[in-house]
A = this chain, B = another copy of it.
């Protein structure tokens, strides 16, 4: 029994503009579900690892160049309109907001949607978004997920807002910054925010080397 294999990408980015975690959806160009918002992806048509295929589809459809990509899981597609046996493997991608540059020559639309508010999606894409989101939440407990989603320099408040968006729960700013200050891999810079309508914040950055050294020993998730 033979299968057509598809990859689906759940592309996530954190918008520092409105402090929301967002997922990138594209408007489908072909039937089924033509014209609807759906996850970017496509059939595996080259003899390569799924992750490679996912990265390529992603680049073609959205102009995003291979960021942090990790598999979520495989799904047996149970779409009744498809006669052929079909399976799909989904990947989540973590992308820095500023790095997104829509492909110029591409004909279909792509649009960001803030995370709890995705539109109705065809097939099992809604479930895939949920699964991916949950997987990222779990990953953030073992890996420095914000490294991939925040800009190189950021104020502490931005990091806090990111965690609040990821876990959909408010954090106490004082306890939060106490926690961050204890992290060896978050480094304060001698630089301030500008053009903000309040007291400007000091900027911080991630230090990958410090993370490699003792990051694993510290808690990766805030209070």
Using a CB–CB cutoff of 8 Å, the interface residues on chain A facing chain B are 1-5, 43-50, 71, 73-74, 76, 78, 85, 87, 89, 138
Residues of B within 8 A of A89 (CB): 74, 87
- In the complex, the chain B residue whose C-beta lies closest to that of A74 is B74
Would you call A4 and B2 a contact (CB within 8 A)?
yes
- In the complex, the chain B residue whose C-beta lies closest to that of A71 is B73
Q: Which residue of B43, B71, B78 contacts A74 across the interface (Cβ within 8 Å)?
A: B71
Would you call A74 and B73 a contact (CB within 8 A)?
yes
| Copies of this chain in the oligomer | 2
Q: Once bound together, how far apart are the Cα atoms of A76 and B74, in whole Å?
A: 11
Enumerate the 8 nearest inter-chain pairs by beta-carbon distance, A residue then B residue, closest first: A74-B74, A2-B2, A74-B89, A49-B76, A1-B45, A3-B3, A3-B5, A50-B76
Residues of B within 8 A of A87 (CB): 3, 5, 50, 87, 89
Additional A-B contact list (15), CB under 8 Å, known A1-B47, A2-B2, A138-B138: A1-B4, A1-B43, A2-B3, A2-B4, A3-B3, A5-B5, A5-B87, A48-B76, A49-B76, A50-B76, A50-B87, A71-B74, A73-B73, A87-B87, A87-B89
